[in-house]
Structure 1
Amino acid sequence: MHIRLEDTADIDAIRQITEAAFEGAPYSAGTEGRIIDALRAADALTVSLVAEDGGEVIGHVAFSPVTIEGAGCGWYGLGPVAVRPDRHRGGIGQLLIRQGLSRLAILGAKGCVVLGDPGYYGRFGFSHDPGLRYEGAPPEYFTRLVIAGPAPTGAVAFHDGFNVA
């Protein structure tokens, strides 16, 4: 298995994997596939990686810019991240996330935020910061990872691609 940048031939597989991974999840609105499509259409997929095994795409992770207090500041949002359901619990998501964070650092990113299970994302160094807020979510599920410089404060907004219905 190896991790690589997505290419146009991967788009359908990414959509299928993402929809299958989130299907029936109580925390999902079922829009994750459309979010990735919207981010791609807006040229807002800063890092978009796939996990490939035997020539088959089995996982995907997306990173896109966020704003803090309405301004771009070198921070990014992680997600969605998805792995084909029959390959869950094999470390594929972790590899995708670690590679994505490494690529963000190379690009000069200052930090990354994620909305999700703090126990899972904590293993990558994400932690809750009361100075960063994301409206409408339990605060403990919104965490950040500082890559360089000081941690900013304020309200975080994900790219408009996340507002698909």
Structure 2
Amino acid sequence: MDVNVMENIFLLVLVTLMSAVQNAFFAQKVEKECKTHNAKTAAFERVYCATRNCMDAYPTFIAVMWCAGICLSQAPAAFAGLMYLVARQKYFVGYMGQTSQSTPGYLFGKRILSFLFLMSFVGVVNHLLAHYFATDFKDYIQTITKAASALLLLP
């Protein structure tokens, strides 16, 4: 693979691989709960439901993270991806306790997905402006995005 291309996607690849490991962890928890207890218990239902909810949002996460990283800036997209993995872990652990404990993780994950979607949208709009009107704001937008990604850490 071309070194230039690899430099532009390396962080996104790392976050994607970490998310795959996290998915395997979730699947292992479901399998362990199924073997430890009867599949009809409330604990199994909570673990299974938490895993299913995480898997349902996974394609959206991967799509917006890669689009944001390729269309706008890799580093803020990868950072937001890492924060999403933390939020997803918080959601999963919270759901295993009581479902009301999962709400902070869910809301945090939603905010990160919105940020990644906004990054993707702005990147596409900037590309269209550059292509059709010869106006490129990518450097300014990347500076703003890098500063705004730190705001994801605020509760």
> Taking structure 1 as the reference length, what is the TM-score of the superposition?
0.27
- When you count strand as a share of all residues, which structure comes out higher? 1
Q: Comparing both structures, which one devotes a greater share of its residues to helix?
A: 2
Q: Name the larger-Rg structure.
A: 2
Q: TM-score, normalised by structure 2?
A: 0.28
